[in-house]
Chain A
Amino acid sequence: MAQAFAAAVILAVACVAGVVTDAGAAAPITRQVRPTWAELTPQQRQVLAPLAPEWDQLDVTRRKKWVAIAERYPKMSAEEQERLQRRMRDWARLSTDERRAARERYKSLASLSPQEREAVKASWAEYRRSLEAEKPADEAAEAPVSP
């Protein structure tokens, strides 16, 4: 009886340990990861609709994060809601390193004063203009020679 009990305990511990070990694995997820798309509430599915095609590929941590973001959605302004839904798929498709780097840059800019942040926005517009101005020359240089 004791041996059977010991075997059952070891099996249970091994199963739970396996789940923990696999939780952050980047390999294709074959085990049922929750919440599944069907398990989301209709409101959550509506907010996270841009992620629907990728949902099955997301690991459990990222699913929980998106659910948490979806819960904040009703409190956002209409403009923020639109931005969120427009950007979420691009964000989800970035690599872990790219997301980490973006978060670090955000943190450094978030610590600025409102005036400085306005200056950063102006700088972004200026930076974009400078890129646009450089583009034709670059494209011409990189363009393949036509036959």
Chain B
Amino acid sequence: MTQEQDLARRITRQLDQGLAEIRPGIAYRLRLAREAALERSEGEGEFALQWAWAGGHAPRGLVRFLSPQYLLPVALLLLGLLGVGYWQTTSPSTEVIEIDTALLTDELPLNAYLDSGFEAWLKRSQPQ
């Protein structure tokens, strides 16, 4: 038997002896305190999904969707999407930038690319 086990046995013996000799009034108060403690601990341990306003008064119907808890993330998401959309719709594509740069600096003049007659001329002169 280890030293710890021996100590535990002696403590429990003392407690049992004390319990046998305890006065009824004290035993009753101890029981009440234990029940109250158990009751409190049961309420704290539970977990459940709740609305953000849980504990306060919950708005009903569509009104609750007008509260900042809903509108703030929705507004941020919308603004973000609109920002991305604006950036994409107003940004020229890399292809356009590259082609325009090449066209404007090419050895052939702009008219060579604008003249549909030249295009037809090229097609006619190509060997069949």
Contacts and interface: CB of A to CB of B under 8 A. Distances in A.
B104 A16 contact: no
Interface residues of A, number: 48
A24 B89 contact: yes
B102 A105 contact: no
B103 A106 contact: yes
A115 to B, nearest CB: 14
* Chain A interface, DSSP helix/strand/loop, else mixed: helix
Contacts of A110: 102
* Chain B interface, DSSP helix/strand/loop, else mixed: helix
A62 to B, nearest CB: 7
A124 B108 CA distance: 8
A87 B102 CA distance: 12
Interface stretch (B23-31, B37-45, B110-118): B110-118
A19 B90 CA distance: 10
Contacts of B92: 61-62, 64-65, 68
A27 interface: no
A123 interface: yes
Interface residues of B, number: 41
B82 A16 contact: yes
Contacts of A26: none
A29 interface: no
A36 B17 CA distance: 94
Contact of B108 (A62, A84, A121): A121
A83 to B, nearest CB: 5
A12 B104 contact: no
Given A2-B67, A65-B100, A80 B105 contact: yes
B122 A20 contact: no
Given A2-B66, A12-B75, A84 B118 contact: no
A123 B104 contact: no
A120 B108 contact: yes
A102 interface: yes
A120 B126 CA distance: 10
B66 A120 contact: no
